[in-house]
Amino acid sequence: MKFLFLLPLVFLSCGDFGNKGPKDYGQFGNSNIGLTKANKESLPPHLENPNAGDFTKEKMIFNLGRMQAQRARELQIKSQLFVMALEESCEAEDTKKAFRELILAFQSIAGVPFGPLQENEQKLFLDLYSWPSLNTCGIDREVVKFQQTKSAPSSLVYNLRGLAALEYLLFEPSLETVCNRRGYPETDVWSKKPAAEKTKDRCALALPLAQSLESSIQAHWQGWNPQENYYAKAMVDGSLGNLQTVLNLVSDSIFEIEKIKDKKLGKPLGLNRDCLDSKCIADIELKFSDLSLAAIFHNLQQVEQIILGSKRKEDKGFGIEDYLRSLGRADLADKTILAIETARKSAEALKQQSLTQLVSEADPVQCASTTKENRTVPICGLFQDVRYFSQLLKTELMTVMDLRPPRTIEADND
Amino acid sequence: MILKIKLWLSQPVDIASLIAYRILFGLLMLWGLGRFWWNGWIERSFVEPTFFFSYYGFSWLPSPHSLNIYAIFVLGILASILVTLGLFYRLASVVLFLSFFYIEFIDLSNYLNHYYLLILLSFLNIFLPLNRNLSLDCKFLGLPSWNQTPFGTLFLLRSQVAFVYFFAGIAKVGSDWLWEAQPINLWMSAHADLPLLGPWLTKTVVHYFMAWGGFLFDSTIWIFLLLPLTRPWAFVVVVVFHFFTWLFFPIGLFPFIMVSCATLLHSPSWPRAFLGKFLSVSTIPNSVLSNSALLFFSLFLASQIALPLRHFIYPSPLLWTEEGMRFSWKVMVREKNGSVTFKVVDRKSGRTWLVEPSHYLARHQEMEMAGQADMIWQLAKHIEKDFAREGRTVAIYADTWVALNGRAAAQLLDPNLDLTKQKDSLAPKTWFLPPPTDSPERLVAEK
């Protein structure tokens, strides 16, 4: 298990930013992701320990950036571990475990994905994770093509690769294809192969996809790495605009909570307009690895950490709550912490369970009548908790922090 | 009396300021329409959205999806250039008015006071002799040049500009603006990190100074611009004031429009120092304002007084219900953010969905809708039709939460009201829950 040698890096990454030199992975076209330019001037002394002394908006933003950089580093290490495990054996439980850790590390940064992930209209984000746009038929066609040509595809559209594609290749249990047999006869031939061969074929494509993913994740880390593009510094040195503009970039990312509410929970539960049937189990995120609720938990945990400015409530770090307090709105800070903590705890209580199973068992009428207070169906209670936080974000938090919705056109207050 | 008024409005004054105004207006419209294209707002505002909110009485306007919206922008841009040059002026003014009117009236969520002002001005321009000097119409098409213009033409535009300032000032009386310095306090606290100015912007006294200063500025600046003695200083104040509004707020063209329009309140001859040698010398033929022209003047000005005051007809608090808010220069008086979820109930099966506006709207549309009852109703009716297409008859209730000027969020509409059973009208609506009665929370200085 040579990838075990990398484990110390995981622990190191929690304390400081390591630096890994650039590596040429270019396989599926990550050469031009256009990250913020390198920013190597020294850090102003008051930012060397941003959580010391009195609160300032600058310290808070730098601290939030630094925390995001740590997540980026952890993600990069997990991706290396996963690729090494995959190179050794595709079907081993250790490989699946490494993937689970990788996808959850990604979910820990995708809950509020500010930074390089959001640049260039989320190009890097989509390189890493294409759910809910994954094209499983397209992936199966690539599996067949790879078997025929034995050469890794030179370029693939975003919804045929990344973490979501890997989850499909490694965890999809039926080994059936959803492709139309007449439209894609090659997949029909492939589907008649024995299960062991089909697993092997999918594993074969998984490796180049994983290597490409590692390359994208490395590029993401380069964006945050203090020795390279140092995005956390760019957030406070004016490269991205004034501090209010950068705060707005962070808040735009907090709006990803809408995705949790609408796509990850609302739609499967049949509460959303996108699901006019009683339930939409097919649309559950990470349904093959059954990590849907764990993913939501990690998303919400990240939102909570952005609010708190630290990984745990007991630690001191400048976050959104400190900003609200500095504005004299301790009441709103407490309300916000309570809202996100409630949602995170609801997700934590359910994170070991299967969302597919919970949705299957939920009574639609009882689910629709579940409220924050009357939690008849716990998973629907989680939906209501997230909805309440979203409402707080759109109303009081937007107002008090003078935030704008993700920008489209000029404002109304002329 | 009427004859006296007609003679007063007919007396000749220098046409120079109107000519300068025409050129500035044409350039501003060119800039305004061009940046829509440049910034990709045409796609975001007219191509990507699948639903458009209509103005009351204007739901007949064709959707931009059924027209070539880019062609309309091209027409508007060409017309702006022609107006600036004074070529085919009358036709160009009509095209400019119609194209801009369509662009702005096709979706209520795009409403901005300064767009409304540009619509009014482009409408008035159709009837005014703004091409009677320094124009290609005079130079090449044989239109007689005028050195002067009837005072009424200038009076009409001056009145329009004065109304904007005056009613914007009046809107601040009795609101959170004067007594709570809100939403100034909210907005300025976010700018605490600005170099030099930042620390001042967190001080309560500065917020009150800005609030009262803004009120006094809006209410009276047009008077000081009209008086020769105070005019130079007043204009400096106008420029400084609008510079700061441009610095602090994402309000696009508004500061530039108002500074340009403020020149109309100067002496009619002010541009002679710059344009004098280009202006041709000829005199206006003697004539007296016609009765029809006087009627037009009167009706237009009366409408511009009545519209900003119509909110007094509505019993509910203006900032909460926003009945009578549009077309009335209620500028900068509220910071309102809201969240709406529609509860859709199948009347037969009882099946319930919680429908998010984002399913139908772009984010900017959603944010605009969240605090405005007529827009919420329009989307509810649209959702009703959407579900009807799926063969479902539904009741729709809105869970609307709104934070106004820093207060805690409160429910705007009665959540038990089936919106599909309601009708929109100009009459006061009974859909609202009472507004919060507490004072807005004030943000304190950041260290």
Of A278, A369, A408, the CB nearest to B362: A408
How many helices and strands (H and E) does chain B possess?
18, 6
State residue B278's pLDDT score.
Answer: 82
Residue type, B253: L
A54 interface with B at CB cutoff 8 Å: yes
Question: Per the CB < 8 Å rule, is B401 touching A391?
Answer: yes
Nearest-Cα distance to chain A for B49, in Å, is: 12
| Torsion over CA: A244, A246, A252, A256 (sign) | negative
State residue A406's pLDDT score.
Answer: 60
* Residue B307: pLDDT over 50: yes
Q: Kindly state the tokens that stand for A74.
A: 């952890």
Residue type, A27: Q
DSSP letter for each residue of B274-307: HHGGGS----PPP----HHHHHHHHHHHHHHHHH
* Chain B residues whose beta carbon lies within 8 Å of the beta carbon of residue A273: 344, 353, 355-356, 359, 383, 386
Contact in structure between A408 and A392 (CB atoms under 8 Å) = no
Q: Kindly state the tokens that stand for A51.
A: 């959580």
Please, which residues bridge with residue B411 across strands? Answer: B401
Could you tell me the CA-to-CA distances from A337 to A24, A345, B139 in Å, in that order?
43, 12, 70
- Listed by number, the residues of chain A in 316-355 with a beta carbon closer than 8 Å to a beta carbon of chain B are 326-329, 331
| Mean pLDDT lowest among A100-104, A183-187, B75-79, B425-429 | A183-187
Of A331, A365, A394, the CB nearest to B337: A394
Long-range contacts made by residues B7-12, C-beta under 8 angstroms, separation at least 24?
A: B7/B288, B8/B151, B9/B150, B9/B151, B9/B152, B9/B155, B9/B289, B9/B294, B9/B297, B10/B150, B10/B151, B10/B152, B10/B287, B10/B288, B10/B289, B11/B150, B11/B151, B12/B148, B12/B149, B12/B150, B12/B151, B12/B283, B12/B284
* Chain A residues whose beta carbon lies within 8 Å of the beta carbon of residue B349: none
Question: Per the CB < 8 Å rule, is B351 touching A395?
Answer: no
* Chain B residues whose beta carbon lies within 8 Å of the beta carbon of residue A338: none
| Mean pLDDT lowest among A324-328, B178-182, B281-285, B332-336 | B281-285
**Per residue in B10-64, pLDDT tens?**
999 999 999 999 999 999 999 999 999 999 999 999 999 999 999 999 999 999 9
Q: Kindly state the tokens that stand for A31.
A: 């050469």
| Mean pLDDT lowest among B91-100, B187-196, B332-341 | B187-196
Nearest-Cα distance to chain A for B354, in Å, is: 5
Q: How many residues does chain A have?
A: 414
Omega prior to A132 cis, within 30 of 0: yes
First to last CA, chain B: 63
Residue type, B82: L
Tell me the C-alpha distance between A305 and A64, whole Å.
Answer: 9
A277 interface with B at CB cutoff 8 Å: no
Average pLDDT, integer, range B404-411 = 95
Nearest-Cα distance to chain B for A88, in Å, is: 45
- Annotate B411-443 with b (16+ C-beta within 10 A) or e (fewer): ebbeeebbbbebebeeeebebbeebbeeebbbb
Q: Kindly state the tokens that stand for A410.
A: 């000029």
Residues of chain A with pLDDT under 50: 1-36, 38, 408-409, 411-414
Which pTM does this prediction carry?
A: 0.90
State whether residue A344 is helix, strand or coil. helix
| Mean pLDDT lowest among A84-93, B126-135, B229-238, B283-292 | B283-292
Of A387, A391, A401, the CB nearest to B190: A401
Of A329, A394, A413, the CB nearest to B339: A394
**Per residue in B101-156, pLDDT tens?**
999 999 999 999 999 999 999 999 999 999 999 999 999 999 999 999 999 999 99
Strands (DSSP E) found in B205-361: 336-346, 352-355
Tell me the C-alpha distance between B204 and B214, whole Å.
Answer: 15
Nearest-Cα distance to chain B for A217, in Å, is: 29
Question: Per the CB < 8 Å rule, is B251 touching A414?
Answer: yes
Of A54, A368, A411, the CB nearest to B250: A411
Nearest-Cα distance to chain B for A277, in Å, is: 10
Contact in structure between B193 and A58 (CB atoms under 8 Å) = yes
Contact in structure between A180 and A227 (CB atoms under 8 Å) = no
State residue A97's pLDDT score.
Answer: 97
**Per residue in A202-234, pLDDT tens?**
999 999 999 999 999 999 999 999 999 999 999
**Chain Cα centroid distance, residue A1:** 28
Question: Per the CB < 8 Å rule, is B446 touching A327?
Answer: yes
State residue B279's pLDDT score.
Answer: 81
Q: Kindly state the tokens that stand for B381.
A: 């009716």
Of B403, B372, B442, B371, nearest to B184 by C-alpha is B442
State residue B192's pLDDT score.
Answer: 84
Omega prior to A185 cis, within 30 of 0: no
Tell me the C-alpha distance between B322 and B97, whole Å.
Answer: 27
Tell me the C-alpha distance between A225 and A276, whole Å.
Answer: 45
Question: Per the CB < 8 Å rule, is B403 touching A399?
Answer: yes
Contact in structure between A95 and A350 (CB atoms under 8 Å) = no
Contact in structure between A27 and A212 (CB atoms under 8 Å) = yes
Could you tell me the CA-to-CA distances from A242 to A145, A223, A319, A392, B202 in Å, in that order?
49, 20, 18, 25, 17
Nearest-Cα distance to chain B for A68, in Å, is: 23
* Residue B277: pLDDT over 90: no
Greatest CA separation found in chain B? 80
State residue A39's pLDDT score.
Answer: 54
| Mean pLDDT lowest among A7-11, B180-184, B441-445 | A7-11
Average pLDDT, integer, range B393-420 = 97
